[in-house]
Copies of this chain bind each other. A is one copy, B any other.
Amino acid sequence: MPTAGLSINLATVREQWNLREAVEACARHGIRAIDPWREQVAAMGLTEAVRVIGDYGLSVSGYCRGGMFPALDKTARLDAIDDNKRVIDEASALGAACVVLVVGALPPGSRDIHAARQMVAEGISAILPFARSNKMPLAIEPLHPMYAADRACVNTLAQALDLCDDLGDNVGVAIDAYHVWWDPQLEAQIARAGADNRILAYHICDWLVPTHDIRLDRGMMGDGVIDLPKIRSAVENAGYRGYIEVEIFSAHNWWIRPGDEVLRTCIERFATAS
């Protein structure tokens, strides 16, 4: 079955479908796993989301997203910690394999990336006991350095794994090929992540040349320059056996095509270019 092992991160079709429509479409295409976004779940209501995903028997390869820990104001940081606990509760209800953490970056007005990184470490540390008691793994997603200012100040796999070393068990990494493909240390750090049993998720899309938008111009696998089969081999050789999740933010291409065409293309390229 060409969809075996494939998961669709529902950001990929977020402009075409709501959660119910996306779940129905994935099931229709034989896709067996999804990663929903919190906004999509909130729009439907958690209870109904659990029911619909359960009705179709879909696995939930991850839940997007927790994180966003840094803030200059201490109350705001505590609010973020509370909010992340709600994310863990929602992920548990959905039966998600992990919570994906986009950790956050420089608070507005700050130029202190070291302080932001410290706030991230403290934030994850603060929610980790709750995650452990809920048996919900936390997947730190290192984001491409071009998001260091405004999305996530964890920007390499090595940095994420150092953080994991400090934090202990029940925390790992979400490896997204788009964010890490350029890293001269990539293979070594994937091997390290595998040896430490830290790989909780593997996401794919492609890097387009040229890239017209810093956030919303990700490519379909095969349309860009990332050697996806090679990275997949490294991830699998490191012991990862979970779903491979397609996540494409594409405001001017895939988000304006019919959702069924997008899913058909994901399935085809998952087989031929990943």
Question: Which residues in A have some Cβ–Cβ distance to B below 8 Å?
Answer: 106, 110-113, 117, 144-146, 148-150, 153, 155-156, 158-159, 181-184, 207, 209-212, 214, 224-227
Which listed residue, B145, B184, B225, B226, touches A144 by the CB 8 Å rule?
B145
Task: Name 22 interchain pairs, CB-CB below 8 A, sorted by A.
Answer: A106-B209, A111-B225, A111-B226, A111-B227, A112-B227, A113-B181, A145-B146, A145-B183, A146-B211, A148-B181, A148-B182, A149-B182, A149-B207, A149-B211, A149-B224, A150-B209, A150-B210, A155-B182, A155-B183, A159-B184, A210-B214, A211-B214
Are B145 and A209 interface neighbours, CB within 8 A? no
Known contacts A113-B227, A153-B182; 16 additional CB pairs below 8 A are: A106-B209, A110-B225, A111-B225, A112-B227, A113-B182, A117-B184, A145-B145, A145-B183, A146-B146, A148-B182, A149-B182, A149-B225, A155-B184, A159-B184, A210-B214, A214-B214
Q: How many angstroms from the CA of A67 to the CA of B150 in the assembled complex?
A: 31
Secondary structure at chain A's binding surface: helix, strand, loop or mixed?
loop
Smallest beta-carbon distance A71→chain B, Å: 15
Most buried by B among A110, A111, A184, A227: A184
Cβ–Cβ < 8 Å partners of A184 in chain B:
117, 155-156, 158-159
Q: Which residue of B lies closest to A217 (CB)?
A: B214
